[in-house]
Structure 1
Amino acid sequence: MGDRTDLETLFHERVGDGVVLLTMNRPDRGNGVVPEIARDFVTALDQLEADRSVRCLVLTGAGRQFSAGADLKAMREYLDRELPVTGEPYNARVIFPVIQRVVASRLPIIAAINGGATAGGLDLALACDIRIASTAAKLGETYINLGLPPGNGGTWFLPRLLGSGMAAELVLTGDVIDAARALEIGLVNRVVEADELIPTAVELAMRIAAKSWRAVEAAKQSLRSTWQVDLATTLATNYWAAAALHPGPDVSEGVDAFLERRTPAFNRTPARED
Structure 2
Amino acid sequence: MTTTQDSVELDTMRCAFPAEGVALLTLNRPDFANGVVPELVRDFLRLLDRLEADNGIRALVLTGAGRQFCAGADLKAMRTYLEERLPVEQEPFNARILFPLTQRLTTSRLPIVAAINGGATAGGLDLALACDLRIASRRAKMGETYVKVGLAPGNGGTYFLPRLVGSGMAAELALTGDVVDAERALAIGLVNHLAEPDELVDDAVALATKLAARPRRAIEATKQALRAAWSQDLTTAMNTSFWVTSALHHTDDLHEGVVAALEKRPPRYNRDRTQLP
Return the TM-score normalized by structure 2: 0.95
Deviation at 1:42, TM superposition (A): 0.3
Which residue number in structure 1 is paired with residue 88 of structure 2? 85
2:140 paired with 1:158 = no
- Find the aligned partners of 1:267 and 1:137 in 2 and give their Cα distance: 35
Shift of 1:86: 2.4
Aligned-partner residue type, residue 162 of structure 1: V
Partner of 1:137: 140
- Equivalent of residue 227 in structure 2, options 217, 224, 228: 224
Note the C-alpha offset of 1:261: 2.5
- Aligned equivalent of 1:125, options 107, 118, 128: 128
1:218-258 CA-partner distances (Å, limit 9, x unpaired): 11111111112211111111111111111221111111222
Q: CA deviation at 1:100?
A: 1.0
1:53 and 1:269 in contact (8 A); partners too: no
- Contact kept, 8 Å, 1:212 with 1:268, in 2: the verdict is no
Cα contact 1:133–1:188 (8 A) shared by 2: yes
The range that moved more, 16-25 or 78-87, is: 78-87
* Cα distance in 1 between the residues matched to 2:272 and 2:173: 42
Summarize the Cα distance change of 1:167–1:84 in structure 2 as closer, same or farther, 3 Å threshold. Answer: same
Aligned in 2, Cα 1:249/1:2: closer, same or farther, shift over 3 Å?
closer
Where structure 2 has 5 or more consecutive residues not aligned to the other structure, the ranges are: none
Matched, 1:57 2:81: no
Give the whole-Å Cα distance in 1 for the aligned partners of 2:118 and 2:185. Answer: 13
CA positional deviation for 1:59: 0.3
Q: How far 1:267 sits from its partner (Å)?
A: 2.6
Change beyond 3 A, Cα 1:108–1:150? same
Is 2:251 the partner of 1:248?
yes
Q: Cα–Cα, structure 1 residues 165 and 94, in superposed 2: closer, same or farther, change >3 Å?
A: same
Instruction: Give the structure 1 partner of residue 260 of structure 2.
Output: 257
Letter in 1 for 2:234: L
Q: Does 1:202 align with 2:208?
A: no
Q: Counterpart amino acid of 1:256?
A: V
AA matched with 1:263: P
**Structure-1 separation of matches of 2:272 and 2:12:** 29
CA contact (8 A) 1:140 1:175 kept: yes
1:88 CA displacement: 1.2
1:41-91 superposed Cα distances (whole Å, 9 cap, x missing partner)? 000000000001000000000000000000000111111112222221111
**CA 1:34–1:268 in structure 2 vs 1: closer, same or farther (change >3 Å)?**
farther
Return the letter of the residue paired with 1:58: V
Cα distance change of structure 1 residues 196 and 92 upon mapping to structure 2, 3 Å threshold: same
Matching residue's letter, 2:266? T
Letter of the 1:62 counterpart:
A
* Secondary structure in 1 matching 2:7: strand
Q: Which moved more, 1:221-230 or 1:197-206?
A: 221-230
What's the offset of the Cα at 1:269?
Answer: 5.1
Q: Deviations over 1:139-198 (max 9, x none)?
A: 000000001111110000000001100000000000011100000000000011001101
Residue 8 of structure 1, aligned match among 7, 11, 34: 11
| CA drift at 1:11 | 1.1
Q: Which amino acid aligns with 1:106?
A: R
For residues 266 and 226 of structure 2, the distance between their equivalents in structure 1, rounded to whole angstroms, comes to 25
Report the residue type matching 2:236 in the other structure: T
Q: Specify which of 24, 28, 32 is matched with residue 31 of structure 2.
A: 28
Q: 1:201 to 1:177 in 2, by over 3 A?
A: same
SS of alignment partner, residue 33 of structure 1: coil
The TM-score with structure 1 as length reference comes to 0.96
For this pair of structures, how many residues does the alignment match?
A: 271
Task: After the TM superposition, list the runs of 4 or more consecutive aligned residues in structure 1 that deviate by more than 6 angstroms.
Answer: none
1:190 aligns with 2:193: yes
Could you give the per-residue CA deviations for residues 194-216 of structure 1, whole angstroms, max 9, x where no partner exists?
Answer: 01101100111111100111111
Counterpart residue identity of residue 174, structure 2: V
Amino acid at match of 1:135: R
Task: Please give the alpha-carbon distance, in whole angstroms, between the structure 2 residues aligned to 1:12 and 1:170.
Answer: 32
One-letter code aligned to 2:202 = P
